[in-house]
Chain A
C-alpha cells in the first residue's frame, strides 16, 4: 500500500531523510569553538595577569601562550592602554587555525552550514566553495612556517619557567606545576603542527618517486611520520586548543594570586 508521496526529493536548509540526531555533531562543534573564541578574545582584551614572576627572584617565569612572545617592558609601555600585546601575535596562531584543513571542515559545517551534516540539505544560493573569496585558504602553508617558529618560542617559555633563582642568587633548574602546564601545551601544539597537511605535503607528500630523489630514506620516513600523526589531526586540533586555553587560564590564576604558587611547606622543603 502507498503511504506518502515523496518525489521529487526535497531540497533546502536542514531538509533530510536521515532519522538520526545529525545535528548533535555540528552543534557541539559550534559551541566548543564559540566557547574558545569568547574566552580567548576576553583574555586578549583583558591585558593583565598574563605573566607571573616576571623578573622576580626565586621562581621560574610563567608566561601565557596567548601573550608569547612578550615584548620587553620598555616596548609594552609605549603601547596605548587599550592595546593588548596579545594583538601583536594573535594573527599567527589564529591564521594557522583559521586556514587549517580540519578547522575549515569544522566551521564550514558548524557555522556556514555548508553542509550542516552529510546528506542534510543546505541553502542552495550561489555556491563557490573555495574558489573565490576563500582562495586565501591556500596560504595555509605560510601560517605553518610561523607556527613552527612559535613552537620554538613556546619551548623557550618552558625553559624559562624551569629556571629558578636560588637563595644565594645563583640559577637552578626546577619544575613547577606551571612549567609542566606549559610543557604539556607546547607538546600538544607540536603534535597539532606536526600533523598538519601542509607539512605532510612539504616533507614528502609532493614526491611521487622517492627512489628518484636525494635523501630518499629520510624523506620517506618523515612523510610516513607526518602521515601517521595526520590520521588524528582532528584530535590534536581539539586537545591543543583546549590546552592552550587551559595554560592561559592557569597562568592567569597564578598571576592574579588566586592559586598560590606553591604551598608554604613545600616551598620550605625545596628551599632547604
Chain B
C-alpha cells in the first residue's frame, strides 16, 4: 500500500449530505475504523462514527465500505487496491442521524414482537438437555446484533417493508427459540403473519454479510420456512389435521 490513502466519507444526515475527501497515512495492520479515528484526530473532530469494542464483538461499527456492508473494525485497509480512494458510507436501510451514525431503533421494535422462551419443565433436573441439542441453537446465539444483515436484506433496503417484515436478524432469534429443546411456545403464526417470513426469497445476502458467519438462510430461515409449510401449506398435513383433530 502507498503511504497515504484518500478516504471519501459521507458527511451529512438523512436529507442532505456529501462525500468529503480526507487523506490519511496508512500503517500496517490498519483497519477502516482506525482510518476514521485518524480523520477525527487530524481533520474533522466533529465526524460522527459509532464504535465500541474494536474487536468485532459489539456490533456498533457497521457501515458500507466501497458499497459493501461491513464492520469497519474488522475491515483491513490492505485489502483495498493501492492508490484508489476508499468510500465509506453509513448503512443504507436506516435513517441517518449524522455522518456514519444511523438509527437502528426499528430493530428493537421488531424484537419486542417475539415471545421469549417458554420453559416446559419445572424442576432443574428436567431442564437438562444434551450438548448435541445445544449445538444447533448455539450458532444463533453468536449474533452480535450488528444489523448488517438487516441492512443488506433487500426486502428492507429496497422495498422498505419495515411494517410487515422482521428481517434476518430476527429470523435467527426466532430460530434459536423455536429449535430450543425445552421451549414450548409456537411462533409459526407470528413468523408467517407479523414477521413476513414469506417475503424472504432466500437470496442469501444476509448470510454473505454476517460477520459471525451464521448460516442465516440455510440454518435459520429455510428450516423455519419448512416449519411454516408444515403448519400452513402442506395439503396432506392439513387434511390429517382436519380429519383427526377435534
A binds B: yes
Mark A residues whose CB is within 8 Å of B.
1-9, 11, 16-20, 101, 104-105, 108-109, 114-115, 118-119, 121-122, 124, 127-131, 134-135, 138-139, 141, 197-198, 200-201, 205-206, 208-212, 220, 230-231, 233
Closest to A115 in B: B154
Indicate which residue in B19, B161, B196, B205 contacts A118 across the interface (CB closer than 8 Å). B205
Whether A127 lies near B199 (C-beta < 8 A) is: yes
Indicate which residue in A6, A109, A209 contacts B181 across the interface (CB closer than 8 Å). A209
User: Interface extent on B, as a size class?
Assistant: 35 or more
- Cα A128 to Cα B165 in complex, Å, equals 11
Whether B222 lies near A210 (C-beta < 8 A) is: no
Q: Tell me, rounded to whole Å, the shortest Cβ–Cβ distance linking B72 to chain A.
A: 15
Q: B66 an interface residue at 8 Å Cβ cutoff?
A: yes
Whether A197 lies near B201 (C-beta < 8 A) is: no
Whether B222 lies near A101 (C-beta < 8 A) is: yes
Whether B234 lies near A3 (C-beta < 8 A) is: no
Whether A8 lies near B15 (C-beta < 8 A) is: yes
Whether B205 lies near A141 (C-beta < 8 A) is: no
Q: B246 an interface residue at 8 Å Cβ cutoff?
A: no
- Cα A101 to Cα B215 in complex, Å, equals 14
Q: Tell me, rounded to whole Å, the shortest Cβ–Cβ distance linking A272 to chain B.
A: 54
Whether A115 lies near B158 (C-beta < 8 A) is: yes
Contacts of A208 in B (CB 8 A): 133, 178-181, 183
Whether A127 lies near B18 (C-beta < 8 A) is: no
Q: Tell me, rounded to whole Å, the shortest Cβ–Cβ distance linking B187 to chain A.
A: 12
Indicate which residue in A109, A118, A121 contacts B152 across the interface (CB closer than 8 Å). A118
Q: Tell me, rounded to whole Å, the shortest Cβ–Cβ distance linking B119 to chain A.
A: 12
Q: Which of B6-14, B33-41, B54-62 contacts A (4 or more CB under 8 A)?
A: B6-14
Whether A101 contacts B154 in the complex (CB less than 8 A), given A7-B18, A9-B92, A210-B133, comes out as: no
- Cα A198 to Cα B226 in complex, Å, equals 7
Q: Tell me, rounded to whole Å, the shortest Cβ–Cβ distance linking B82 to chain A.
A: 14
Whether B199 lies near A17 (C-beta < 8 A) is: no
Whether A114 contacts B10 in the complex (CB less than 8 A), given A1-B20, A101-B222, A119-B69, comes out as: no
